[in-house]
């Protein structure tokens, strides 16, 4: 579970995009039951077939893991924005640091305000986005939202070594989220998404370290650099910002 889909670009074979930087989880143990249930629900919703949860599809899993993981999913079959609510809860609980990696950062007001308040409260908030667009409209909207957070002390980085597609959130190096959901309205409201919330310091610290390693291949977007952007970029941002609810 994570960002990888099935396609040449996800293997780094698209020459225009180049190296593909993603994060994925392999899950074993009881949490797989929740993933299987989500698959059944999605299948039933898409196919309009009556899906029967037969025992043969849920074999006895005797793997006794030591890492706590919670599967959270959302989609158009449910009006509750579960994943967004979880993001807000994690951000609000931060005491020291918040690390976000996402290819698309087009948050709604509640997520934007939560991040802004965390940064203004002294939490070390860092957001990493791609340096190049695969969807130009989404990219320039992402640039606008990230730029708007710089004045509150949020640090923004653009990943320069290929395309960043990871969707991760690490809070205080103790709890983390890895999954399919971006920080955008489409992931919160329209798409079928699924995240794994990891309640384990070792695993969260590993994701923290990966973020720090990725900084070696990134450039910081400072407030000074952002304010120096040209008129063409400003126009692109403004247009895409207006389209943000539709992106």
- Residues forming beta bridges with residue 156, ordered by sequence position: 127, 221
Is residue 53 in a domain?
no
Inform me whether the pLDDT recorded for 159 exceeds 80. yes
How confident is the model over 52-96, as pLDDT tens digits?
Answer: 888 888 877 777 778 999 999 988 877 788 999 999 999 999 999
pLDDT of residue 121: 95
d(CA 147, CA 204): 27
Determine whether 115 is exposed, middle or buried from the number of CB atoms within 10 Å of its CB (0-12, 13-18, 19+). Answer: buried
Bridge partners of 221, per DSSP, are: 156
Span 11-29, pLDDT tens digits: 777 777 778 899 999 998 8
- Domain assignment present for residue 61? The answer is no
Tokens of 58: 């849920």
Amino acid 137: pLDDT: 67
* Whether 155 contacts 125, CB under 8 Å: yes
pLDDT score of 5: 82
13-18's contacts with Cβ under 8 Å and 24+ in sequence apart are: 17/132, 17/134, 17/162, 17/163, 18/162, 18/163
Has residue 169 been placed in a domain? Answer: yes
Helix (H) or strand (E) holding 1: none
pLDDT in tens, 184-193: 888 998 888 9
Examine residue 128 and state whether it is found in any structural domain, yes or no.
yes
Cα torsion at 187, 191, 59, 66 (round to 10°)?
0
Q: Can you give the residue range of the structural domain that contains 145?
A: 15-24+67-246
- pLDDT level of residue 247 (50, 70, 90 thresholds): low
Number of domains in the chain: 1
On whether residue 187 sits in a domain, the answer given is yes
Confidence at residue 185, expressed as pLDDT on a 0 to 100 scale: 86
Residue 217 is assigned to a structural domain of this protein = yes
Whether residue 8 is contained in a domain is answered as no
In this predicted structure, the answer to whether residue 246 has a pLDDT above a threshold of 60 is no
On whether residue 225 sits in a domain, the answer given is: yes
CATH of the domain at 212: 3.30.870.10
Q: Please, are residues 201 and 136 in contact by the beta-carbon 8 Å criterion?
A: no
């Amino acid at each position: 579970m994570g960002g990888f889909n099935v396609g040449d670009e996800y293997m780094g074979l698209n020459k225009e995009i180049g190296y593909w930087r993603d994060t994925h989880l392999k899950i074993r143990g009881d949490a797989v039951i929740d993933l299987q249930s989500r698959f059944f629900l999605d299948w039933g919703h898409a196919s309009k077939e009556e899906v029967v949860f037969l025992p043969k599809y849920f074999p006895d899993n005797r793997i006794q893991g030591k890492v706590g993981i919670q599967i959270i999913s959302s989609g158009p079959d449910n009006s509750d924005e579960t994943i967004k609510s979880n993001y807000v809860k994690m951000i609000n609980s931060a005491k020291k640091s918040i690390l976000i990696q996402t290819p698309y950062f087009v948050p709604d007001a509640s997520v934007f305000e939560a991040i802004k308040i965390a940064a203004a409260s002294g939490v070390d908030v860092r957001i990493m986005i791609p340096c190049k667009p695969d969807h130009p409209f989404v990219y320039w909207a992402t640039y606008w939202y990230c730029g708007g957070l710089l004045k509150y002390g949020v640090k923004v980085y653009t990943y320069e070594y290929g395309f960043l597609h990871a969707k991760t959130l690490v809070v205080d190096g103790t709890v983390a989220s890895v999954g399919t959901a971006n920080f955008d309205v489409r992931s919160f409201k329209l798409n079928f998404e699924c995240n794994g919330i990891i309640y384990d310091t070792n695993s969260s610290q590993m994701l923290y370290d990966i973020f720090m390693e990725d900084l070696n291949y990134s450039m910081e977007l400072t407030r000074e650099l952002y304010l120096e952007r040209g008129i063409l970029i400003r126009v692109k941002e403004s247009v895409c910002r207006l389209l943000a609810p539709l992106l």
